[in-house]
Amino acid sequence: MQTLKYLAGYPEHVRERVRTLLAEDRIAPMLRERYGASHAIRTDRQLYEYVVAMKERHLRQAVPLHKVVYDRRLQVMQHALGLHTSVSRVQGHRLKASREIRIDAVFIDAPADFLRMIVVHELAHLREPDHTRAFYQLCSHIEPDYHRLEFDLRLYLTLRDLPRDA
Binding site for Zn ion (CB under 5 A): 80
- Decide if 117 contacts 156 (C-beta within 8 A): no
Residue of 39, 37, 42, 35 lying closest to 72 (CA atoms): 42
**Residue with nearest beta carbon to Zn ion:** 80
We find the least distance from the C-beta atom of residue 77 to Zn ion, in angstroms, to be 11
Dihedral (CA of 144, 148, 151, 152) sign = negative
Alpha carbon distance 53, 69 (integer Å):
15
We find the least distance from the C-beta atom of residue 79 to Zn ion, in angstroms, to be 7
> Which residue's CB is nearer to Zn ion, number 23 or number 77?
77
- Please give the helix or strand (H or E) that residue 99 lies within, else none: strand 94-104
> Which residue's CB is nearer to Zn ion, number 53 or number 80?
80
We find the least distance from the C-beta atom of residue 81 to Zn ion, in angstroms, to be 6
We find the least distance from the C-beta atom of residue 28 to Zn ion, in angstroms, to be 26
CB atoms within 10 A of CB 120: 23
> Which residue's CB is nearer to Zn ion, number 27 or number 122?
122
> Which residue's CB is nearer to Zn ion, number 41 or number 126?
126
